[in-house]
Amino acid sequence: KAGVTQTPRYLIKTRGQQVTLSCSPISGHRSVSWYQQTPGQGLQFLFEYFSETQRNKGNFPGRFSGRQFSNSRSEMNVSTLELGDSALYLCASGSGTGLEDTQYFGPGTRLTVL
């Protein structure tokens, strides 16, 4: 089985721009979660999508949004980029059901905001 893939792997943007990141889950997985990883704040949960619906949301401003398509692929969008948005963005996929659902992480997208 192919693992979780994320594209692009690296991005450089300037303040005020917007960016879209993509995540393709493991085949058959219906849940995709997004995390932001920074040296200062560590790993923080952004949101989770399941069957095209946002099911959980972390404590991030509305500039951070996402969506999920019918094939379970997910995109995350950040508008009006700020310097503090520079981070590694990880996505994870899972079945989305069951008590022992396991999260499989992708390699991440490294976003640098200049």
Partner 1 sequence: AQRVTQPEKLLSVFKGAPVELKCNYSYSGSPELFWYVQYSRQRLQLLLRHISRESIKGFTADLNKGETSFHLKKPFAQEEDSAMYYCALSRTGSARQLTFGSGTQLTVLP
Which of residues 7, 101, 112, 114 is near partner 1 by CB under 8 A? 101
Q: Count CB neighbours of 12 within 10 A.
A: 12
| Residue 24 backbone phi and psi in degrees, to 5 | -110, 120
Residue 58 as a binder of partner 1 (CB under 8 A): the answer is yes
Site for partner 1 in 12-41 (CB under 8 A): 31, 33, 35
Q: Provide the 3-class DSSP secondary structure of residue 85.
A: helix
Which of residues 14, 55, 71, 84 is near partner 1 by CB under 8 A? 55
Which of residues 56, 71, 77, 112 is near partner 1 by CB under 8 A? 56
Which of residues 12, 43, 83, 114 is near partner 1 by CB under 8 A? 43
Distance of CA 18 to the CA centre of its chain: 15
Whichever of 26 and 81 has its CB closer to partner 1, that residue is: 26
- Given the structure tokens 């490294």, which residue do they identify? 110
**CA within 13 Å, CB half, 29:** 27
Nearest CA among 85, 87, 86, 96 for reference residue 53: 96
Binding site for partner 1 (CB under 8 A): 3-4, 31, 33, 35, 42-45, 48, 50, 55-56, 58, 90, 92, 94, 96, 99-107
